[in-house]
Structure 1
Amino acid sequence: MGTTPTEVLAFPSIRAIVRDNGTAEVVVAGNSRVVPDGETLQDLRNNALTLVVGEAQTLQRPVRVQIEDPEGHGELIVHPDNKIESVRYEQRPVRRRAQAPETTPETLAPAVTETLPVAAVKPKAAPAQPAPVDATAAAVERQPWPPTPVEAEERGPVSPKAQRNAAAESPAAVAPEEPLTRRSLKETSFLVSAPVLEPATKGWRGSLTRLGFRMDPSPEELSEREDIRTVSQHWPGPRTIAVVNRKGGANKTPTVVMLSAILARYSGAATVAWDNNESQGTLGWRTEKGAHNRSVLDLIDSSTELLSPSTNAAEIAKFVHHQTADKFDVLRSDENEEGDHEVTAEEVDIAHQVLTRYYRLVVMDSGNTARAANWRRMIDHTDQLVVPVTAIEDRAEAARLTLQTLESRGGHDAELARNAVVIVSESTDAKRSMTGDALKRAKAEAQRIADGFEPFVRAVVRIPYDPALVNGPIRHEALQPATQRAWLAAAAAVAKGF
């Protein structure tokens, strides 16, 4: 089956140009690459397509290429597996040779619409003896780049008698040229629709770019850019993420902090992390504290004022704790030392109504009791479920049971479970003392757990061990580069569910 052109990214901009002076070039994102010489026009075309296939293999995806030669122009889709699809090809008007005593019939083949391997395309040798042009055979012949009148001339001279016979069999081939019609201005535009591919900024390619040699980004950098683009999107209406696992120590709170930080940083959307523990949670311990001690209970008590149309948006700052570096706010759970209040389902409704008025993104931490009223009401408000787990078997089993509980309830709960994102973090237990085989076993266990969840949820992302996530306040900039990249991938997987 062919590829829908709209499914193929328009960048990098690729052009394959074949000239009538026997030269050709492939231009990728403004960088010109010389095409090896060929004996015929078709040789140059094939050599140009070979370079484009190499670019598709580098990017590991199909690419679009604008083709241009002395006889026409069009667009192809080139796949990494050497397959070519022709989207369109427009032939230029054929100019008759002044020295020809009679018009020579030259048959033009239609543009290719099927998928063909590049390897199958070989230039055809001219016949040893003069032969009449067979219009039917020329039309059946398929090549990834449409044949041109110049190639018909390369087949050899045609006798006057053969010309007259061919003209009798195919009168349309010698019909007078129709005058070109004026196009409407609505059919064209001077705007360039394809985005410009920015040069590499990372790795050795980035180093060469900074030295003045413009280099295309690597596949890894392109993947990172795509994740950044995903988490930077804005969506209509507020979204709520619930981070759940019925087992303590499963990395729920670090997951809430990191998702909130990345989504707030890249999207610029007003983001709040809400500790929805039924009694007292730990989100406030792992984040910055503001100049007050207010919690979710204070926000609920002031909900009438906060929901009033006359209330200024800045009033929410009285109840949340702003994270100065990572640009999101935290709504803490009740920190009453006696701990005698459990949040009810109705209170969850009130707090959620207030927060979705002031924030576009709500990331909810949770307690360990899936039967609690506030836990179940949180699920009712959830748009995307995230299940964190450390690479320890009891945490993984608790995550499985959490998903199983939601799936058994059916409806909205089951849909959340099926579209969940599972985030597997490497174990932090005695990590610093691990060496050699112990480290390999820890990584293998994380992979085993990730593989186990993959068939049952929408996405699974692995996070490497990082000491900055173990103790104290969590900040994005304190993480190692590999950990930052892994959390960006996790946030992109979550954002795809919006």
Structure 2
Amino acid sequence: MGTTPTQVMAFPNIRAIVRDNGTAEVLVAGNSRIVPAGDSMQELRNNALALIVGEAQTLQRPVRVRIEDPEGHGELIVHPDNKIESVSYEPAPARRRAEAPETTPATVAPAVIDTVPAPAPEPAAAPATATAASVGAQPWPPAPATATPEPQTAAFVEEAAPTRRSLKETSFLVSAPVLEPATQGWRGTLTRLGLRMDPSAEELTEREDVRTVSQHWPGPRTIAVVNRKGGANKTPTVVMLSAILARYSGAATVAWDNNESQGTLGWRTEKGSHDRSVLDLIDASTELLSPSTNAAEIAKFVHHQTADKFDVLRSDENEEGDHEVTAEEVDIAHQVLTRYYRLVVMDSGNTARAANWRRMIDHTNQLVVPVTAIEDRAEAARLTLQTLESRGGHDAELARNAVVIVSESTDAKRSMSGEALKRAKDEAQRIADGFAPFVRAVVRIPYDPALVNGPIRYEALQPATQRAWLAAAAAVAAVF
């Protein structure tokens, strides 16, 4: 079932602006993208639409776009498959010349259309659609409605619009950023030798992922990392997402171990100078939520990661304790953390029926499902998503928009035989392909020994692993 224009979200806010001086820009959530120069106004439009199609493909859904150019303004729906729908379009008022002869008809702006004559308009027509290859015809700009020319008279001369524009309508500042030269590969080498080279497609993709994870969003955001099977890579996923988002965005980030039993997040991260856990934070919640409390007081309860720049809120590690965190206590802890942090990444236990697990889902903005390339872990991930989908409402929406992160099996890597490595990669791809039709994004992560044991550090990972986790974090942050 297709998506109607009214169902397409206006987020992120996207604008495409083409100017009569031969420049254009695409603004995505306030960030300007460079539009390659063209030999004509229509070529500029085509180049701008190509960037917007790329954004729709990144988000894997249609996007809503406001368009502006000297010939008019309106709104489009741009799909990942290059289909473009016109929601509205209003041509700019035609300028009238005071010196025009009395018999000269009023000027109608020429339509930029194909040479094939367009069919006569019909009442209540559906929105026009086009592919990116045919954007010169419809819908940007649509052919103007046929109007009966009116003779130019003295009355029109008296009502002629002023020829001078307001200074508010112009600026001497250049809004389009300059494309930075290549820094990677042979292109980067040539640039460093003095021959400026444009970046490759791979480098541009990496830059886009960096831009995505570097954004600041209004209000706090909560990410839940879930899988009902142990050993599915939940804790490494929490650490890596927290590290990348904190490093690039600079936003205050906390990783919270919301395990119903002793969680492993505290074992895989740095320990601070104290032993406090989530239970201590809950006990001190009244003080921490007081308007008079200094922001630095939160450091008494979390463990700072000195290299990766995020904090960790540990679960209770008292071996003799039997306290189970309730739903109300999850509410309290979440209220405290979202006062001090802009991003909360939650680790979870293996029981989807537990009160703290279910209340975590209530607070979640983005669901992440990690899985190792082993069939029982993949099946547990599927059942986790199925459980959430069956609950309907907010839970089902999280499941449909989840990001699945597939990591290659460590067991196959230990054998180090060529055939075993190929089987591990093939199995990871099979599982990734199996999840792809049911979730928003699937990202594969290569095996890396730095993720197997001990404290996890971003800088300890191999470059290929760092790049894969950057892509995973960008997929998670894309809808914030």
Q: TM-score, normalised by structure 1?
A: 0.69
Which amino acid counterpart does residue 473 of structure 1 have in structure 2? P
**Relative to structure 1, is the Cα distance of residues 491 and 216 closer, same or farther in structure 2, using a 3 angstrom cutoff?**
same
Q: Name the counterpart of 1:275.
A: 257
Query: Does the CA contact (< 8 Å) of 1:279 and 1:339 recur in 2?
Result: no
Deviations 1:382-433 (A, max 9, x none): 1111100001000000000001111111111111111111111111114132
Q: How many Å apart are 1:339 and its aligned residue? A: 4.1
Deviations 1:226-274 (A, max 9, x none): 1111111111111111100000000000000000001101111100000
Q: Name the counterpart of 2:418.
A: 436
Q: Name the counterpart of 1:132.
A: none
Q: Name the counterpart of 1:411.
A: 393
- Paired residue secondary structure (2:266): helix
- Paired residue secondary structure (2:329): helix
5 Å-filtered alignment, 1:283-362, equals 283-362=265-344
**Relative to structure 1, is the Cα distance of residues 198 and 446 closer, same or farther in structure 2, using a 3 angstrom cutoff?**
same
Q: How many Å apart are 1:494 and its aligned residue? A: 0.8
Q: How many Å apart are 1:440 and its aligned residue? A: 1.2
Query: Does the CA contact (< 8 Å) of 2:403 and 2:442 recur in 1?
Result: yes
Q: Hey, what's the Cα distance between the residues in 1 that align with 2:161 and 2:220?
A: 58
Does residue 487 in structure 1 map to residue 450 in structure 2?
A: no
Query: Does the CA contact (< 8 Å) of 2:71 and 2:109 recur in 1?
Result: no
Q: How many Å apart are 1:225 and its aligned residue? A: 0.9
Deviations 1:102-154 (A, max 9, x none): xxxxxx9965523689xxxxxxxxxxxxxxxxxxxxxxxxxx8xxxxxxxxxx
Q: Hey, what's the Cα distance between the residues in 2 that align with 1:449 and 1:179?
A: 64
Q: Name the counterpart of 1:477.
A: 459
Q: How many Å apart are 1:444 and its aligned residue? A: 0.9
5 Å-filtered alignment, 1:42-441, equals 113-114=112-113, 181-441=163-423
Q: Hey, what's the Cα distance between the residues in 2 that align with 1:13 and 1:258?
A: 33
Q: Hey, what's the Cα distance between the residues in 2 that align with 1:432 and 1:304?
A: 50
Q: How many Å apart are 1:57 and its aligned residue? A: 9.7
Q: Name the counterpart of 1:497.
A: 479
Query: Does the CA contact (< 8 Å) of 1:426 and 1:442 recur in 2?
Result: yes
Which amino acid counterpart does residue 349 of structure 2 have in structure 1? G
Q: Hey, what's the Cα distance between the residues in 2 that align with 1:246 and 1:364?
A: 14
Q: How many Å apart are 1:438 and its aligned residue? A: 1.5
Deviations 1:327-355 (A, max 9, x none): 00001111112242221112111111111
State the percentage of identical aligned residues.
82
Which amino acid counterpart does residue 475 of structure 1 have in structure 2? R
Q: How many Å apart are 1:183 and its aligned residue? A: 3.2
**Relative to structure 1, is the Cα distance of residues 441 and 290 closer, same or farther in structure 2, using a 3 angstrom cutoff?**
same
Which amino acid counterpart does residue 338 of structure 1 have in structure 2? E
**Relative to structure 1, is the Cα distance of residues 406 and 57 closer, same or farther in structure 2, using a 3 angstrom cutoff?**
closer
- Paired residue secondary structure (1:198): coil
**Relative to structure 1, is the Cα distance of residues 60 and 371 closer, same or farther in structure 2, using a 3 angstrom cutoff?**
closer
Which amino acid counterpart does residue 271 of structure 1 have in structure 2? T
Q: Hey, what's the Cα distance between the residues in 2 that align with 1:202 and 1:59?
A: 25
**Relative to structure 1, is the Cα distance of residues 319 and 114 closer, same or farther in structure 2, using a 3 angstrom cutoff?**
same
Which amino acid counterpart does residue 113 of structure 2 have in structure 1? E
Unaligned stretches of 5+ in structure 1? 18-44, 63-72, 76-80, 82-87, 90-107, 118-143, 145-170, 173-177
**Relative to structure 1, is the Cα distance of residues 116 and 326 closer, same or farther in structure 2, using a 3 angstrom cutoff?**
farther
Deviations 1:1-46 (A, max 9, x none): xx994597474454457xxxxxxxxxxxxxxxxxxxxxxxxxxx9x
Query: Does the CA contact (< 8 Å) of 1:205 and 1:216 recur in 2?
Result: yes
- Paired residue secondary structure (1:347): helix
- Paired residue secondary structure (1:281): coil
Deviations 1:449-494 (A, max 9, x none): 1111111111111111111111111011111111111111111111
Q: Hey, what's the Cα distance between the residues in 1 that align with 2:47 and 2:365?
A: 41
- Paired residue secondary structure (1:283): coil
Q: Hey, what's the Cα distance between the residues in 2 that align with 1:362 and 1:243?
A: 11
Which amino acid counterpart does residue 464 of structure 1 have in structure 2? P
Query: Does the CA contact (< 8 Å) of 2:412 and 2:424 recur in 1?
Result: no
Q: TM-score, normalised by structure 2?
A: 0.71
- Paired residue secondary structure (1:399): helix
**Relative to structure 1, is the Cα distance of residues 406 and 15 closer, same or farther in structure 2, using a 3 angstrom cutoff?**
closer
Query: Does the CA contact (< 8 Å) of 2:412 and 2:420 recur in 1?
Result: no
Query: Does the CA contact (< 8 Å) of 2:16 and 2:48 recur in 1?
Result: no
| Comparing 250-259 and 231-240, the one that deviates more | 231-240
Q: How many Å apart are 1:74 and its aligned residue? A: 10
Q: Hey, what's the Cα distance between the residues in 1 that align with 2:326 and 2:50?
A: 56
**Relative to structure 1, is the Cα distance of residues 190 and 469 closer, same or farther in structure 2, using a 3 angstrom cutoff?**
same
**Relative to structure 1, is the Cα distance of residues 312 and 323 closer, same or farther in structure 2, using a 3 angstrom cutoff?**
same
User: Cα RMSD between the aligned structures?
Assistant: 4.1
- The total of aligned residue pairs comes to 392
Match of 2:430 among 433, 442, 448: 448
